[in-house]
Amino acid sequence: MDNPFAENEHRLLHPPSTALVIFGATGDLTQRKLIPALYNLSHDGYLPSSFAVIGASRTPLTDDDFRDRCKESIASFSRRDIDPKVWERFSRNIYYQPLDGTKKEGFVALRERLESLGKERGEDLNYLYYLATSPRFFADISTRLGEQGLVADPHRELRRTALIIEKPFGHDLESARVLNETLNETFHENQIFRIDHYLGKETVQNILVFRFANGIFEPLWSREYIDHIQISVCESIGVGTRASYFDSSGIVRDIVQNHLLQILSLLCIEPPLSLHDADSIRDEKVKVLRSLKRFTDKKIEKNVIRAQYTRGYVDGKAVPGYLEEEGVASGSQTPSYVAMKFEIDNWRFAGVPIYVRVGKRLPKRITEISLHFKKAPRSIFQSSAQQRGSAPADNMLTIQVQPDEGISLCVNAKPPGPLLQTKPVMMDFLYDDSFATASPEAYERLLLDAMRGDATLFTRNDEIEEAWSLLDPILKSWEAQSGGPLTTYEAGTWGPAEASTLLNERKHRWRRL
């Protein structure tokens, strides 16, 4: 390549030769997310020129059986229809290895398979292991990989090996530490890529670009100008087929400990030193997590509202209550909704409350961040507007993560006409309008980054531990039957009435979504 820019872009976009082994290959995550994401990467020409994906699980399948399954999952879940030419190219690199994660034999066969793939292609492949299994197999699989010499020493070998794991990263601080110690027996911390798929969402990444590539917002991003912040992660779905997993986790472990705190920390970080090393951003995120005020018993009662949905209507359809869902223990106290008030104890954000609400079976699926700015110190429009009943609205910046990805700023403007009145108007940036291309799925970006060895969008262990140490007191207090009662809300409504008490002190209100 003669053009150095093109060469650089090629290097950034095209990872080195890789064999990706997916454990849990017949499971939901592989079929719904991973295979469609790999297909789309192949479609866009982003996969390494030498690439292989090896599905591994207990079900006895041949390479061809697995290829057929992959084709079905792409047909059902990919954002694109199957293009026969792309499928032809992609499917040639799909293999399957039957293997029981707790037994040695399958791993011997896996090693032989990987070695022969390397020989066939005449090059050393990097090994990337994706554990799309239940976390109870993590320890066994990583130990067996180590025993077979399938994990390269990053200080001595050129071949890169990495392990990708999915949440839950433990159940509390203690179990998260144990999990990490176990993985560290085989893998170095910088070889472990912990996926939080929210970090792969375009709008979440755009928080960084928006904040640090535009000089005009950063000065406003502080207690001087921001009155309060709201973050809402709302889902209309219930617990569905995952009831037994969810019932033992609850909404705090399922969403707050990971997705919500990741959004919050990116929103509140200081400018990182650089975007070129993964740790600059992650160091700043940890600082935010450390600055969050801890929850004492009194605060849990006052600042954390938990609730469970009862039967109701979502999208006009009757849906069961949480306790009626199949797989939920009778009399379960697991919350499907939580509203919380966070406070950051640092110079930038001291005194700016961050209200969050997260729940299932709400009226619609929407994830939104809103920054509510302080009022103008003295409004010259106030008295005349009051006479006509329209005081200027508060300025507000909203970042919609999904489903309508975009950023809007609410400002006051004068409507045409003889009177000097004010009216709130929105200045909108919508992804769909500004970029003529569809956003990739979060897993596409994350798989590509893992193949490139870029851990920026993956969660580091100290972030996980900080998040648990913040939330453990809440979970423990609920387990001890204290910390405020579990209330209820009707499915299809915006949560329990009690959630608004969080905001009363400062006369704030939840934003209408």
Residues that bind ligand BG6 (CB under 6 A): 197, 235, 254
Q: Which residue, 197 or 445, is less far from ligand BG6 as judged by CB?
A: 197
- Return the SS3 of 317: strand
Tally Cβ neighbours within 10 Å of residue 211: 16
Q: How far is the CB of 197 from ligand BG6 (least distance, A)?
A: 6
Q: How far is the CB of 82 from ligand BG6 (least distance, A)?
A: 23
Q: Which residue, 235 or 444, is less far from ligand BG6 as judged by CB?
A: 235
Q: Which residue, 113 or 167, is less far from ligand BG6 as judged by CB?
A: 167
Q: Which residue, 227 or 254, is less far from ligand BG6 as judged by CB?
A: 254
Please confirm whether the linkage preceding 168 is cis (ω < 30° from 0).
Answer: yes
Q: Identify the CA nearest to 54 among candidates 117, 122, 141.
A: 117
HSE toward the beta carbon, residue 447, CA cutoff 13 A: 30
Amino acid code (one letter) for 490: E
Q: How far is the CB of 196 from ligand BG6 (least distance, A)?
A: 8
Residues 56 and 21: beta-carbon distance below 8 Å: yes
What is the per-residue DSSP string for 175-226? Answer: HHHHHHHHHHTTS-GGGEEEE-GGGGSHHHHHHHHHHHS-TTTGGGSSTTTE
Q: How far is the CB of 92 from ligand BG6 (least distance, A)?
A: 31
How are strands ordered across the β-sheet holding 192-195? 94-98, 51-57, 18-23, 126-131, 161-166, 192-195
Residues 495 and 335: beta-carbon distance below 8 Å: no
Q: Which residue, 235 or 466, is less far from ligand BG6 as judged by CB?
A: 235
Residues 42 and 86: beta-carbon distance below 8 Å: yes
Q: What's the rounded Cα separation, in Å, for the pair 118 and 330? A: 53
Q: How far is the CB of 401 from ligand BG6 (least distance, A)?
A: 8
43 carries an active-site annotation: no
Q: How far is the CB of 367 from ligand BG6 (least distance, A)?
A: 6
Tell me the two tokens of residue 314.
């979502």
Catalytic residue among 43, 197, 259, 372: 259
Q: What's the rounded Cα separation, in Å, for the pair 147 and 155? A: 18
Q: How far is the CB of 243 from ligand BG6 (least distance, A)?
A: 11
Q: What's the rounded Cα separation, in Å, for the pair 163 and 131? A: 7
Q: Which residue, 143 or 262, is less far from ligand BG6 as judged by CB?
A: 262
Q: Identify the DSSP state of 271.
A: P
Q: Which residue, 102 or 236, is less far from ligand BG6 as judged by CB?
A: 236
Residues 400 and 370: beta-carbon distance below 8 Å: no
Q: What is the dihedral of CA 234, 240, 245, 250, to 10 degrees?
A: 30
Q: Which residue, 344 or 491, is less far from ligand BG6 as judged by CB?
A: 491
Q: How far is the CB of 371 from ligand BG6 (least distance, A)?
A: 21
Q: Identify the CA nearest to 462 among candidates 300, 299, 261.
A: 261
| Catalytic residue list | 259
